[in-house]
């Protein structure tokens, strides 16, 4: 049949619009004979429609629905060429059809889910034996839900002749086909749509990956935290990488909170920033804890609500399709202190914690947020905030190990290597070995200090500051610059109390006899015990003896011999005037810091003075005593080793206080008790001549001696000032001190 010139018209009824058929007059196309028509808009544009007749449609017109007119770019009353169209029953039957789905009226959307399995069954019932073309638009009414707009995305046909001949054939792509009752119908959500599709007839949704496609894990700039970052990724982001339908099938919820804690300078803030960059999410909101607090009543809580407002709004509009909102709290301990712990009757901190809990995991909980908190005082944070469903991923960002330090140094020297400003003699592996207990920030400071030393070499020292004109070519940071920075500029906060130890060992340690050698031997064994991977992790040693017997120097030397990277001294000298509570906090902080290092040593000097012991009374601080008893017995975390060296001149007092049982070993530091001991010390000092030493040896031979090494060295120093009478002066002072019995026994 030849084409007929006709005019376009509006579809007579809304019900006919939903049939996806064009409406014709029986006078033009008897629908019992003609099921489909081809419409030619212009020589290059042809469209095939399934047709229906209606008594209200005038002859010479074809009525189109609004979606059909939009798709074919037709105007009302436009002239078109129309003729019947017949499908090839062997090669044009559709095996599958894929639709993009969206709401017909974008403003009239809903968060109610649409079951695609039921939609597919309904579709083949509504549109049996209808023609479909790729890019075709149609309206679809499903049950009593909001009307949907479908766009044909993909069509596949099967060659029935080939199948009938027993030949296997794959479905072929096509632009036009006829829908059958057994055609597979698949629905995919249109890009930017808020519709929620469920069921097995849902196509693979093209989702925006949560991981930024430009992200390179090798360029993170975080050294030594590979293990921690992997653990965070596994707990917090693995569930967000998979499509929502898989997460739904597992019935799992996304992690909504991460707490990063650890010493200052270890990379907590840096890691939070990198997490924000890594994720394909909204720009992270970064807020310092104290910024939340406000002097006006209710404003602090309102500040918390404002942080979550955007996420709440998007959750209401888009539901599970909402993007991820990241909120980073630096110094979170400032606003999330344990409720009831802050003095005063305002209760501001308590209500801020309550507000934060309500937003993260309250009745109207959000699933499109990730809260990252950072602190170096985890102990101060309210326990309720760290339960599952809140800040449930808690990751300690500790001091880097040797491999981590090498990574960090490599990151901070990468630019120098690129521009050939780092000398070849600089061995980053050696520097990593020398920088035990350095944090990431301290390693960065070490590189800066070395750079400043190198720059300073090229500045001419004259009346005015002048820079060598060839500085650019000459400048290279060498090993000496790093060694200078290590020695003079950068000291780790979790390193050794080197100056105090050097002060204790100013005179050195003199091995005057078997008692000292015995302490060296036992001390070396206890140090090895502390280092051993098979040990419990805690070794505590008490060095007790009479006053001035050299206990502190021996303990300091043992601490130095241990070569532990963390070495701190707890001394009464540093706590003069402290209250009992302040003393306990100071001691506790030293122990807490020690637990963060792999190998730690703490020297607790003069325990009885720490306890405020006084023989008249007697009096002592029970609060400090109980704190010490607890800390002396507390084992460090798994994988950490702690050696505690304590000194005391009051063994009997400690025994009465039940402290001796808290120690792994008690070593007795004896006084010099024989003439041989005394002469051994005199020979190792340069106070007396050879002849004078012989005279002194004859004087002390077979005499009873009783004196502490510290007191003896003080008498030697006094004798040194006496000139030619130093032997007589020394002997007389020994008698006065009762250290030498002049009558033979």
Percentages helix, strand, coil for the chain (3-state, rounded to 5) are 40, 20, 40
Mean pLDDT in residue range 130-153: 90
pLDDT digits (tens, 9 = 90+) for 509-519: 888 889 899 99
CATH topology of domain 93-198: Vcp-like ATPase; Chain A, domain 2 (3.10.330)
Please give the class, per CATH, of domain 402-489.
mainly alpha
pLDDT in the model for residue 745: 40
Which residues, 6+ apart, have CB-to-CB distance to 182 below 8 Å?
124
What is d(CA 328, CA 351) in angstroms, rounded to the nearest whole number? Answer: 20
Supply the CATH classification number for the domain 217-396.
3.40.50.300
pLDDT in the model for residue 468: 65
Taking CA atoms, 268 is separated from 258, 275, 435, 438, in Å, by: 11, 11, 20, 15
SS3 at position 468: coil
Range of lowest pLDDT (309-318, 595-604, 717-726) = 309-318
Contact call for residues 571 and 559 (beta carbons, < 8 A)? no
Dihedral angle computed from the Cα positions of residues 423, 424, 428 and 431, in that order, rounded to the nearest 10 degrees: -60
pLDDT in the model for residue 364: 63
What is d(CA 147, CA 130) in angstroms, rounded to the nearest whole number? Answer: 20
Output phi, psi for 687, to 5 deg.
-85, -40
What pLDDT band is residue 244 in, cutting at 50, 70 and 90?
A: low
- Whether the per-residue pLDDT at 676 is higher than 70: the answer is yes
- Whether the per-residue pLDDT at 534 is higher than 70: the answer is yes
Mean pLDDT in residue range 682-696: 85
What pLDDT band is residue 489 in, cutting at 50, 70 and 90?
A: confident
What is d(CA 33, CA 535) in angstroms, rounded to the nearest whole number? Answer: 94
Q: How does DSSP assign 658-702, residue by residue?
A: T-GGG-SEEEEEPPB-SHHHHHHHHHTSSSS-HHHHHHHHHHHTT
CATH topology of domain 675-742: Helicase, Ruva Protein; domain 3 (1.10.8)
pLDDT digits (tens, 9 = 90+) for 287-328: 887 777 776 667 878 888 888 888 888 777 666 667 778 888
**Same-fold call for 217-396 versus 497-668:** yes
Beta bridge partners of residue 148, listed in sequence order = 103, 140
More confident residue, 688 or 201: 688
Which residues, 6+ apart, have CB-to-CB distance to 79 below 8 Å?
5, 6, 7
- Whether the per-residue pLDDT at 678 is higher than 50: the answer is yes
What pLDDT band is residue 130 in, cutting at 50, 70 and 90?
A: very high
Per mean pLDDT, which of 493-507, 535-549, 681-695 is the most reliable? 535-549
More confident residue, 603 or 263: 603
Match domain 4-84 to its CATH number in 2.60.40.10, 2.40.40.20, 3.90.1150.10, 2.60.40.420.
2.40.40.20
Domain ranges of the chain: 4-84, 93-198, 217-396, 402-489, 497-668, 675-742
| Residue 28, both tokens | 């033009």
Question: How many CB atoms are located within 10 Å of the residue 347 CB?
Answer: 12
Pairing between β-strand 566-570 and β-strand 538-545 as defined by DSSP bridges:
unpaired
Element (H, E) at 369: strand 369-375
- Whether the per-residue pLDDT at 465 is higher than 50: the answer is yes
Mean pLDDT in residue range 622-648: 91
More confident residue, 493 or 407: 407
pLDDT in the model for residue 345: 45
* Nearest Cα to Cα of residue 719 among 740, 734, 738, 699: 734
Mean pLDDT in residue range 611-630: 88
Taking CA atoms, 431 is separated from 148, 334, 427, 479, 661, in Å, by: 66, 36, 6, 9, 42
SS3 at position 111: coil
| Residue 740, both tokens | 């030498």
- Whether the per-residue pLDDT at 351 is higher than 90: the answer is no
Range of lowest pLDDT (289-298, 348-357, 503-512, 687-696) = 289-298
pLDDT digits (tens, 9 = 90+) for 77-110: 999 999 999 998 778 888 899 999 998 887 777 7
What pLDDT band is residue 175 in, cutting at 50, 70 and 90?
A: very high
Mean pLDDT in residue range 662-674: 90
- Whether the per-residue pLDDT at 726 is higher than 90: the answer is no
Tell me what percent of the residues of the chain surpass a pLDDT of 70.
88
What is d(CA 341, CA 381) in angstroms, rounded to the nearest whole number? Answer: 10
* Nearest Cα to Cα of residue 284 among 219, 365, 371, 218: 371
Which residues, 6+ apart, have CB-to-CB distance to 18 below 8 Å?
126, 139, 140, 141
Beta bridge partners of residue 619, listed in sequence order = 614
- Whether the per-residue pLDDT at 474 is higher than 80: the answer is no
Mean pLDDT in residue range 436-459: 86
More confident residue, 228 or 174: 174
pLDDT in the model for residue 665: 93
- Whether the per-residue pLDDT at 213 is higher than 70: the answer is no
More confident residue, 363 or 290: 290
What is d(CA 531, CA 266) in angstroms, rounded to the nearest whole number? Answer: 24
Mean pLDDT score of the chain:
83
Question: How many CB atoms are located within 10 Å of the residue 602 CB?
Answer: 25
Instruction: Provide the angle, in degrees to the nearest 10, between the axes of the packed helices 440-457 and 402-418.
Output: 40
Tell me which CATH homologous superfamily contains domain 497-668.
P-loop containing nucleotide triphosphate hydrolases (3.40.50.300)
Contact call for residues 193 and 150 (beta carbons, < 8 A)? no
Contact call for residues 650 and 657 (beta carbons, < 8 A)? no
What is d(CA 577, CA 286) in angstroms, rounded to the nearest whole number? Answer: 41
Contact call for residues 531 and 563 (beta carbons, < 8 A)? no
What is d(CA 493, CA 592) in angstroms, rounded to the nearest whole number? Answer: 13
Dihedral angle computed from the Cα positions of residues 614, 615, 617 and 621, in that order, rounded to the nearest 10 degrees: 30
More confident residue, 152 or 297: 152
What pLDDT band is residue 744 in, cutting at 50, 70 and 90?
A: very low
């Amino acid at each position: 049949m030849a084409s007929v010139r006709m005019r376009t018209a509006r579809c007579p009824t809304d019900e006919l619009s939903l049939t996806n058929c064009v409406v014709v007059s029986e006078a033009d196309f008897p629908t019992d004979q003609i099921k489909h028509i081809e419409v030619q808009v212009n020589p290059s544009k042809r469209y095939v429609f399934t047709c229906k007749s209606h008594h209200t449609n005038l002859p010479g017109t074809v009525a189109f629905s609004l979606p059909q007119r939009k798709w074919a770019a037709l105007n009302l009353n436009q002239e078109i060429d129309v003729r019947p169209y017949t499908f090839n029953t062997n090669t044009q039957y559709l095996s599958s059809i894929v639709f993009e789905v969206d709401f017909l009226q974008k403003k009239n959307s809903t968060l109610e889910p649409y079951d695609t399995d039921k939609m597919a069954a309904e579709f083949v019932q509504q549109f049996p034996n209808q023609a479909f073309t790729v890019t075709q638009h149609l309206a679809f009414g499903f049950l009593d839900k909001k009307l949907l707009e479908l766009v044909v995305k993909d069509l596949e046909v099967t060659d029935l002749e080939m199948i009938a001949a027993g030949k296997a054939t794959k479905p072929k792509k096509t632009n036009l086909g006829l829908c059958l009752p057994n055609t597979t119908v698949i629905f995919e959500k249109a890009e930017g749509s808020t519709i929620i599709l469920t069921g097995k007839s849902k196509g693979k949704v093209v989702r925006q990956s949560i991981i930024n496609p430009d992200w390179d894990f090798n360029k993170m700039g975080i050294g030594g935290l590979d293990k921690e970052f992997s653990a965070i990724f596994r707990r917090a982001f693995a569930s967000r990488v998979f499509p929502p339908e898989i997460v739904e099938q597992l019935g799992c919820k996304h992690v909504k909170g991460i707490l990063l804690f650890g010493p200052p300078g270890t990379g907590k803030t840096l890691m939070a920033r990198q997490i924000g960059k890594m994720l394909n999410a909204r720009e992270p909101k970064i807020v310092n804890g104290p910024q939340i607090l406000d002097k006006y009543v209710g404003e602090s809580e309102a500040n918390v609500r404002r942080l979550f407002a955007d996420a709440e709004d998007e959750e209401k509009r888009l539901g599970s399709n909402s993007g991820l909102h990241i909120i980073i709290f630096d110094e979170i301990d400032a606003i999330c202190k344990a409720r009831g712990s802050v003095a005063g009757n305002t209760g501001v901190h308590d209500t801020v914690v309550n507000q934060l809990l309500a937003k993260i995991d309250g009745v109207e909980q959000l699933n499109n947020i990730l809260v990252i908190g950072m602190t170096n005082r985890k102990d101060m944070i309210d326990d309720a905030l760290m339960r599952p469903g809140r800040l449930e991923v808690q990751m300690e960002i500790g001091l880097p190990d040797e491999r981590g330090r090498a990574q960090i140094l490599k990151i901070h020297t990468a630019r120098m290597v690129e521009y050939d400003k780092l000398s070849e003699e600089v061995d980053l592996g050696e520097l990593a070995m020398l920088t035990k207990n350095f944090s990431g920030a301290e390693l960065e400071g070490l590189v800066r200090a070395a750079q400043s030393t190198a720059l300073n070499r090229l500045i001419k020292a004259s009346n005015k500051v002048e820079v060598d004109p060839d500085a650019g070519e000459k400048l290279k940071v060498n090993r000496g610059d790093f060694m200078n920075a290590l020695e003079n500029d950068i000291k780790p906060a979790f390193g050794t109390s080197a100056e105090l130890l050097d002060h204790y060992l100013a005179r050195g340690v003199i091995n005057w006899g078997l008692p000292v050698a015995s302490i060296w031997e036992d001390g070396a064994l206890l140090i090895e015990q502390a280092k051993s991977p098979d040990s419990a992790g805690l070794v505590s040693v008490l060095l007790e003896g009479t006053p001035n017997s050299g206990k502190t120097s021996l303990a300091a030397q043992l601490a130095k011999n241990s070569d532990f990277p963390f070495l701190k001294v707890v001394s009464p000298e540093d706590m003069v005037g402290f209250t009992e509570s302040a003393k306990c906090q100071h001691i506790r902080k030293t122990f807490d810091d020690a637990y963060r290092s792999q190998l730690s040593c703490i020297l607790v000097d003069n325990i009885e003075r720490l306890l405020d012991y006084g023989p008249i009374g007697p009096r002592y601080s029970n609060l400090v005593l109980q704190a010490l008893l607890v800390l002396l017995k507390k084992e460090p975390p798994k994988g950490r080793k702690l050696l505690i060296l304590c000194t005391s001149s009051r063994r009997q007092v400690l025994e009465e206080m039940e402290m001796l049982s808290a120690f792994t070993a008690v070593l007795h530091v004896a006084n010099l008790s024989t003439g041989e001991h005394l002469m051994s010390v005199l020979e190792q000092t340069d106070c007396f001549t050879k002849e004078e030493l012989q005279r002194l040896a004859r004087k002390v031979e077979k005499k009873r001696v009783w004196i502490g090494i510290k007191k003896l060295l003080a008498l030697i120093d006094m004798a040194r000032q006496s000139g030619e009478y130093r032997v007589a002066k020394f002997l007389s002072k020994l008698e006065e001190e009762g250290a030498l019995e002049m009558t033979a026994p």
